Amino acid sequence: MVDSKQLPEPENQAGAAFSGNDELIQRRRRDFFTSLALLLLAFAMLAKSLTFPMTDSYGGVTNAWYVSPALFPLSIAVTLGLVSLLLLRRAILDGGARRRESASKGRSKASFPASASCRVAVIMAFIGLYVYSFVPSVDFALASALFLFLFITPFYIEKVALIPLTLVGAVIACVLITLLSHRPTSQQYALDLVAIATLLTVATIAWWLLRHSPSECRKLRTVVLVSIAVPLVLVPIFRFFLLVPLPVEGLVIDTMQALVSRLTAQG
Amino acid sequence: MDFIAQLSVFAHAIWQILTNPAMVALLLGSSFLGIIFGALPGLTATLGVALLTTLTYSMDLQTALISLIAMYVGAVYGGSYPAILINIPGTAAGAATAMDGYPMAQRGEGGKALGMTTTASFIGTLIGMVALIALAPLISEAALQFTSYEFFLLALFGIIISGTLTSKDLVYKGWIAGLLGLALSTIGRDQLQFFPRFTFGLPELDGGIEVVPVLIGAFAIPQIIRTLRDRVALGSPQPVKRVLPEFRAVFRNLRHVIRSAFIGVGIGAVPGVGEDIAGWVSYGTAQNSSAHPERFGKGEPAGLVSSETANNACIGGALIPLTTLGIPGSPPAVMLLGALMLHGLNPGPMIAITQPNFLVELTAIIALASLAMWINGMFLAKHVIKVLRVPSSIFLPIVAVLSVIGSYALGLSLLNLYLMVPIGIAAYVLGEMDYPISPLVIGVILGPMADENLRRALMVSEGSLMGFFERPVSLLLIAVIVLTIASQIPAWKRYRSRLWKKFRGRALAGKPAHGADDHQ
């Protein structure tokens, strides 16, 4: 990154003015599209609210417009529409609706997996896969361990090759989990075993990729340790101390449960 | 309740907590956890309170409050550690602290700076607490006269003012965020006729969207994405030798401490406006009123003390509208309101009747939480500094797991999780486009209050809007809302500045004449 303090004064100011103006146009351009989306949302809300009972009777109660369940959503939809129009007007006045010309000029183009937008997409993908695929299907402790390992590895070790590796690992695990969860299987913990297999495979490949760098191998060991330790601490707190049943209790939690039962029986 | 009775309840609450070792451990532990949350860049007081709420689910109200308030006070103070030692504020509230704290640490006065912030934060929290106990009963009593008209307008005012004051870009964006929050609050069966609104045939949505998963999603996910996206790398902390209370140094800046505490309380009491604004306003005021403004930004203790006193005094201020009107004063207070509702307590004017000791007990807890923060700050500062070496790429994924398990644990519903992610992503996208998030969550919380009271008010007046203009408080609120909105309209701004110029011109023209009269 260029240190702005090192630039000569006039050039620095001109650059700042250019980038400030460019930034404003880019922001207004985003505002232009957002306001259109918000207008659409306001319109959809308005249309849906108009289907709610207004003055007709509902549940045996004769309605008046001022007690209608539509009143508040309608007010919100109309106000949202009006404010979105104001935002649209400001975006157009500030040049946000103009055809894009040099917005991308001068913007640094980082390589695919290292760019900021790619990192954002990867983070969203990991969180999405964890919530929508791992948590509802796999033992919570295993789902969390797998998520932590896949998520921490590329961001902590900061090696570009690890982003596609962990992402592909997560997607393959997701596909296998989806396929297996729709098929009857004799193996009780089949999905948990998929998670363990994914974790071991990705860890092995990562270790193989990093084998020439002792510092990175050390970091990988830390990731493995954290990924295993955190669920082993969190799950007993929630399951056995706060008595919260976890979304899926499989291989690990059943084993913990058996252990706790044995300990209490002995105690 | 008279003063003696209140004092007795206060002393009893303090005694009850201090004689219970488990409570003391919880108080100190939560405060320490709060300091760590505040100290780690990427984690905030709001997120800390949100995640801790899930752990307090099975506790009784008093125990939960001890834990949550200690976390809140600790986290607001904890933001000063990285601000002073590595020039990266741990929370937005600590940003002004970095201005003078880091130069002090660079001069080898890191320990002194930490000692001063610890004592200043302690004093700030206590002044905020005094303001809470002094003002809340008065507001509560006045609020008992409120009817549906006033409650609807109060909810509207809360959303509009927080949208207006928290917008970094166009003010419309704050209002849009508030409206989106209100829109989210309409999901589920309405409270008067139980008609399902925007449930899309899903029975799980009949009860509406749960507040806590929305809060966790809106605050945790954007924070995780932003910090990991920007690869926030922490520098090595400046060395710290000893941390002492620095009473003498704080006493030398007493006028800054007292003024900043009042600024903090005042800003805290404004719905949705939090500790960060209090810190900056107080810092700016201290600089403007100083005989040596040029020293600010170069390690001036007055700057450090001002921002830290104000952001901790803001806590008491933020709890004033929360306890008396059910309107949270700051983002962490929004979360605290969610936690109180989870424990079956609905803050508002009726709380003085349904739970007459609540306010005094809360005050006692704040006093103990500030003491716990001071003790932790004095004796465990060096351990907190060690935490600054933990990379964000390790602790943020752990925060993601905590957010997931926390959101699930509250309703034991996967739907909460499924909603948390899109809300979090939407909050991130909105945040990137300079939409503030506080009005959105305030909208989600105040939406049901606004909806129900609007319809009740109209029911009373049989559909006539005149009811809103017939009550003095209601009329005052309408005037404030209209002025707040009008103050953002360019035509009004132009008219106001023209009026001001005309007024000044007349005043200036009149001056010599008066002078001449005087001479005569």
Question: A122 and A19, same structural domain?
Answer: no
CA pair distance A232, B210, nearest whole angstrom:
28
Q: What pLDDT digit, counting tens, does each position of B103-112 carry? A: 888 888 888 8
Cβ of B454 within 8 Å of Cβ of A90? The answer is no
ipTM at complex level? 0.85
Q: Is residue B438 part of a domain?
A: yes
Question: A233 and A126, same structural domain?
Answer: yes
Q: Considering only the beta carbons, identify the residue of B179, B228, B393 that sits closest to A76.
A: B179
Q: Crossing angle, helix B301-325 and helix B254-268, to 10 degrees?
A: 30
pLDDT at B42 over 80: no
Question: A218 and A117, same structural domain?
Answer: yes
Residue B197 has phi, psi (to 5 degrees) of -115, 130
DSSP, collapsed to helix, strand or coil, labels residue A61 as strand
Establish if A53 touches chain B: CB-CB under 8 angstroms: yes
Residue B24 domain boundaries: 3-470
**What is residue B441's predicted lDDT score, i.e. its pLDDT?**
85
DSSP, collapsed to helix, strand or coil, labels residue A58 as strand
Contacts of A158 in chain B (CB under 8 A): 231, 393
Closest CA to B460 of A58, A199, A66: A66
CA pair distance B72, B333, nearest whole angstrom:
9
Residue A43 domain boundaries: 8-93
CA pair distance A263, A267, nearest whole angstrom:
6
The b/e string for B121-135 (b: 16+ C-beta within 10 A; e otherwise) is bbbbbbbbbbbbbeb
Question: A118 and A74, same structural domain?
Answer: no
Contacts of A32 in chain B (CB under 8 A): none
**What is residue B401's predicted lDDT score, i.e. its pLDDT?**
93
Indicate if the alpha-carbon torsion angle B289, B294, B297, B298 is positive or negative. negative
Cβ of A87 within 8 Å of Cβ of B170? The answer is yes
Cβ of A73 within 8 Å of Cβ of B186? The answer is yes
Q: What is the mean pLDDT of residues B205-219?
A: 84
Cβ of B183 within 8 Å of Cβ of A45? The answer is yes
Please calculate the CA angle B311-B316-B322 and round it to the nearest 5 degrees.
120
- Are B248 and B222 spatial neighbours (Cβ–Cβ below 8 Å)? no
Residue of A nearest to B191 (CA): A69
CA pair distance A37, A48, nearest whole angstrom:
16
Establish if A238 touches chain B: CB-CB under 8 angstroms: yes
Closest CA to B214 of B26, B410, B391, B416: B416
**Partner B, chain A 78-137, Cβ-Cβ below 8 Å:** 79-80, 83-84, 86-87, 90, 116, 119-120, 123-124, 127-128, 130-132, 135-136
CA pair distance A227, B17, nearest whole angstrom:
37
Cβ of B228 within 8 Å of Cβ of A155? The answer is yes
Q: Is residue B64 part of a domain?
A: yes
Question: A118 and A87, same structural domain?
Answer: no
Q: What is the mean pLDDT of residues B514-520?
A: 42
Q: Is residue B193 part of a domain?
A: yes
Q: Is residue A173 part of a domain?
A: yes
Cβ of A151 within 8 Å of Cβ of B400? The answer is yes
Establish if A32 touches chain B: CB-CB under 8 angstroms: no
Q: Is residue B292 part of a domain?
A: yes
**What is residue B512's predicted lDDT score, i.e. its pLDDT?**
54
Question: A19 and A136, same structural domain?
Answer: no
For chain A, first and last CA: distance in Å? 62
Contacts of A118 in chain B (CB under 8 A): none
Closest CA to B331 of B313, B344, B318: B318
Cβ of A73 within 8 Å of Cβ of B194? The answer is no
pLDDT confidence tier of residue B302, bands split at 50, 70 and 90: very high
Please calculate the CA angle B80-B85-B88 and round it to the nearest 5 degrees.
65
Helix (H) and strand (E) counts in chain B: 23, 2
Question: Tokens 């610890």 label which residue?
Answer: B118
Question: A212 and A119, same structural domain?
Answer: yes
CA pair distance A49, A121, nearest whole angstrom:
34
Structure tokens at A166: 């962990």
Residue of B nearest to A113 (CA): B229
Closest CA to B80 of B223, B191, B243: B243
Q: What pLDDT digit, counting tens, does each position of B255-292 carry? A: 999 999 999 998 888 876 778 788 888 888 888 888 88
Contacts of B400 in chain A (CB under 8 A): 127, 130, 147, 151
Indicate if the alpha-carbon torsion angle A112, A118, A122, A128 is positive or negative. negative
Picking from A93, A120, A142, the residue at the C-terminal end of a domain is A93
A56: left (phi over 0), alpha (psi -120 to 50) or beta: beta
**Partner B, chain A 178-207, Cβ-Cβ below 8 Å:** none
Q: What pLDDT digit, counting tens, does each position of B162-198 carry? A: 888 788 888 889 999 999 999 999 999 988 888 899 9
The b/e string for B380-418 (b: 16+ C-beta within 10 A; e otherwise) is bbeebbebbeebbbbbbbbbbbbbbbbbbbbbebbbbbb
Q: Considering only the beta carbons, identify the residue of A30, A77, A127 that sits closest to B400.
A: A127
**Which residue of B229, B390, B410 is the best one to mutate when testing the A interface, meaning the one whose CB has the most A CBs within 10 A?**
B229
For chain B, first and last CA: distance in Å? 61
Least confident of A102-106, B237-241, B338-342, B515-519: B515-519
Question: A121 and A73, same structural domain?
Answer: no
CA pair distance B423, B428, nearest whole angstrom:
9
Question: A203 and A149, same structural domain?
Answer: yes
pLDDT at B357 over 80: yes
Q: Is residue A98 part of a domain?
A: no
* Cβ partners under 8 Å of residue B256, min gap 6: B286, B302, B305, B306, B309
How far is the alpha carbon of B273 from chain A, nearest alpha carbon, in Å? 22
**What is residue A85's predicted lDDT score, i.e. its pLDDT?**
95
Closest CA to B53 of B210, B223, B166: B210
Cβ-Cβ contacts under 8 Å between A and B: the total is 164
Question: A181 and A70, same structural domain?
Answer: no
Count of domains observed in chain A = 2
Q: What is the DSSP letter of B291?
A: S
**What is residue B141's predicted lDDT score, i.e. its pLDDT?**
82
Question: A257 and A150, same structural domain?
Answer: yes
CA pair distance B497, B31, nearest whole angstrom:
48
Q: Is residue B508 part of a domain?
A: no
How far is the alpha carbon of B399 from chain A, nearest alpha carbon, in Å? 10
pLDDT at B139 over 90: no
Helix (H) and strand (E) counts in chain A: 9, 0
Q: What is the mean pLDDT of residues B136-152?
A: 85
Segment holding B196, helix H or strand E: strand B196-197
Segment holding B188, helix H or strand E: strand B188-189
How far is the alpha carbon of B179 from chain A, nearest alpha carbon, in Å? 6
CA pair distance B271, B501, nearest whole angstrom:
32
Count of domains observed in chain B = 1
Structure tokens at A4: 């702005």
How far is the alpha carbon of A117 from chain B, nearest alpha carbon, in Å? 8
Flag residues of chain A having pLDDT under 70. Answer: 1-20, 56-62, 99-114, 185-186, 267
Q: Is residue A102 part of a domain?
A: no
Picking from A93, A127, A153, the residue at the C-terminal end of a domain is A93
Contacts of B193 in chain A (CB under 8 A): 53, 58-59, 61, 63, 67, 69
CA pair distance B2, B356, nearest whole angstrom:
12
Cβ of B195 within 8 Å of Cβ of A144? The answer is no
Contacts of B398 in chain A (CB under 8 A): 148, 226, 230
Contacts of B169 in chain A (CB under 8 A): 27
pLDDT at B517 over 50: no
DSSP, collapsed to helix, strand or coil, labels residue B197 as strand
For residue B283, the one-letter residue type is Y
Q: Is residue A181 part of a domain?
A: yes
* Cβ partners under 8 Å of residue A106, min gap 6: none
How far is the alpha carbon of A194 from chain B, nearest alpha carbon, in Å? 20
CA pair distance B441, B425, nearest whole angstrom:
14
Cβ of B412 within 8 Å of Cβ of A116? The answer is no
B159: left (phi over 0), alpha (psi -120 to 50) or beta: alpha
